[in-house]
Structures are given as structure tokens and as C-alpha cells.
Amino acid sequence: MRFADYAKLYLTAGDGGPGMAHFRREKYVPRGGPDGGDGGDGGSIILQGDSHLSTLLDLRYKKFLKAEKGKPGGSSIKTGKKGEDIVLSVPLGTVAYEHETRRFLGEVVSHGERLVIAQGGKGGLGNTHFKSATNQTPQYAQPGEPGEEIVVEIELKLIAEVGLVGFPNAGKSTLLSSLSAAKPKIADYPFTTLEPNLGVVQMPDHRSFVMADIPGIIEQAHEGKGLGLQFLRHIERNKVLLFVIDAQKEVKREYEILCSELEAYRKDLLDKPRLIALTHMDIYPDHTPEESYTFDVTYLPVSAVSGHNLAKLKEEIWKMLQEID
């Protein structure tokens, strides 16, 4: 299934049903008082978290949605039936914004959690409510309120404790597949990864954490170049950032560029704990980067092929996660 992390929806919630203007008329009560019931509320459009989903693909085919109207009020003070809600199942980590203003509507982060993104109109009051000492026979009732009309942007920000950050072909997908059971597409050309991949990293003593492979970032990604801008938002939820850098490249320069891109996108991203994995060490195992580089964070030379330092890397990440919690 294709990964989809964005959808734009045109939503119309249901109008409220009109209240009823009615008077009690029975065989021996020819002049009964008002007994018009209230209209039913219109249906709302709701997002509901589903831990079994991992993509917004289904919403791509539901561009225009309109909830059911509330039914009119009835006689004998009967309230009209509420319009049926539209409930959209979404993966955990889904965020909703109003399209024009980018007003934050809310987010869904737990299974079964609900978020109303288009509120149904309130049903109108029946004429029963308007009876008074000076008006014993009110002839009017309220119409229902209109349902909310709104254009909404739905975004998915993956919920993963660790995010892999690096340039295309740095070895992120290979590293993820070696550390977890994930099977991302791996090939020797840029932008092999066109969508984020999640993997659960298992450790001894039943410990585990979730890692996300983010598509490669290039210089000026924060300005929309390459694929980076489209997926940078997934890094926002990560607790720890693992910079993956090819040890054959200009390591310090690549690290500085990656840091600059994250900072340009959102300054507080660099406040997150981070460490560096220098990949492809199997190509020249005699190289000792520990003596070659000076960083402001911990770094480890690793090899996804030979398994060099992978256990140590997992333990280092686990240690950082425990310090955060």
C-alpha cells in the first residue's frame, strides 16, 4: 500500500433540524398549549484514532464529505432525530488544520480518541420554549443552525521515538533493516526512500523502541528542494535524532548542513538529543574515525553489513531515551 501523509478535505457538517410550531389538539382539549418539539442536531465530521492504520491513503478518495441533517421536531414535544455523524478512522499522530488560516484544530494520538473537525448545527427550538404569561400561543419555532463548512488539511506526523536523519544514500534504510524487522526499499541511487518507514528495534530483556527512516534531506530542503521539506515534519515527534552519515564523505560538513536544515525548518529541533552513526565502515574497517573527528555529540562508526557496533548503538539510543523519560 502507498504511504500517504497528507489529505485535503472539503467538509460540510449537517444542518440542525427545525423546531416545530405545534399545539396540542385532542378530543377534549381543543385549546391545548404549544407542544412543538426541538429539531435534532446535525451530524458532525469526526476523526478517530486507529492504531492499526499507518497511512492517510483512504482519505485521498474522500475529498468532499457532507454529514446528515438533523430531523425536524415533532408534536408532543418530540425531539427530532440527530443527523448521523461521519467518523473517519486515521492513524495515530494525525494532525488537523484549517486550510486558509492554518488554524490548529487538534491531533489524534491514542486509539479510539476522537476529534471533531466539522461541528454539526444545533437543532432549532420548538414553540414550547417560547410560551410566556403574555404569549400563551407562540406561533413560531426556531430554524436549525447551519452545519460548519470548512476546508481541512490532514497531516500525519509519524510517532517514532528515534528519527534517522541523513542525506540520500547515507545508509539509513540499510541501517533500519539491520536494527529492526522493517524491509524498506534499498538501492544504490539517491532518493531510494520516497516515503517514511517505521521499524521496531528489539533489544534484550524485552526492551524495544520505534525508529523512523525519513527520506533523505538535501541542502536547502527547508526551502522545498528535494524531498526533505515534504517529510521534515515527521522529525517533530521524534525524541532522539540519529544522524546517519557516510564515513566516506566529508563527514563534518555533511553534519553541519543537516543541522542547518533542521534549524532552518524549526529551531527547536536541534534541542532534541542526538547522536551520529558513521556508516559503511565495512568498506574500510581499518579506518578509525574516533581519532579523526571532533563532534559536540556522541558518534559511533557502524556497519549494517558486518554488524559492527550495532548492539552498542542500540544501547546508546536506549540510554538516551531513558534519560528523556
CATH number of the domain residue 230 falls in: 3.40.50.300
Q: Which of 120, 140, 156 is the last residue of a domain?
A: 156
The parent domain of residue 13 ranges over 1-156
What does the alpha-carbon distance between residue 287 and residue 281 come to, in Å, rounded to a whole number? 8
Residue 15 shares a structural domain with residue 66: yes
Rounded (5°) CA angle 108-113-116: 75
Q: How many domains does the chain have?
A: 2
Residue 258 shares a structural domain with residue 189: yes
Read off the CATH number of the domain in which 63 is found: 2.70.210.12
Q: Is 134 exposed, middle or buried (0-12, 13-18, 19+ CB in 10 A)?
A: exposed
Residue 145 shares a structural domain with residue 190: no
Q: Which of 129, 156, 183 is the last residue of a domain?
A: 156
Residue 183 shares a structural domain with residue 319: yes
Residue 138 shares a structural domain with residue 13: yes
Residue 151 shares a structural domain with residue 166: no
Instruction: State the residue for C-alpha cell 476522537.
Output: 114
The pLDDT averaged over each successive group of 10 residues in the chain (325 residues) is 74 97 82 90 96 82 94 94 96 92 93 96 95 90 96 85 82 81 47 60 83 69 50 78 87 87 85 89 58 74 85 92 83
Residue 172 shares a structural domain with residue 315: yes
Q: Which of 131, 156, 181 is the last residue of a domain?
A: 156
Q: Which helix (H) or strand (E) holds 241?
A: strand 240-246
Residue 94 shares a structural domain with residue 206: no
The predicted model scores a pTM of 0.67
Q: For residue range 33-83, what is the model confidence (pLDDT) as tens digits?
A: 899 999 999 999 999 999 888 778 888 788 999 999 999 999 999 999 999
Please enumerate in sequence order all residues whose Cβ is within 8 A of that of 51, keeping only pairs 6 or more positions apart, or say none.
91, 92, 111
Q: For residue range 186-210, what is the model confidence (pLDDT) as tens digits?
A: 434 444 444 567 777 888 887 888 8
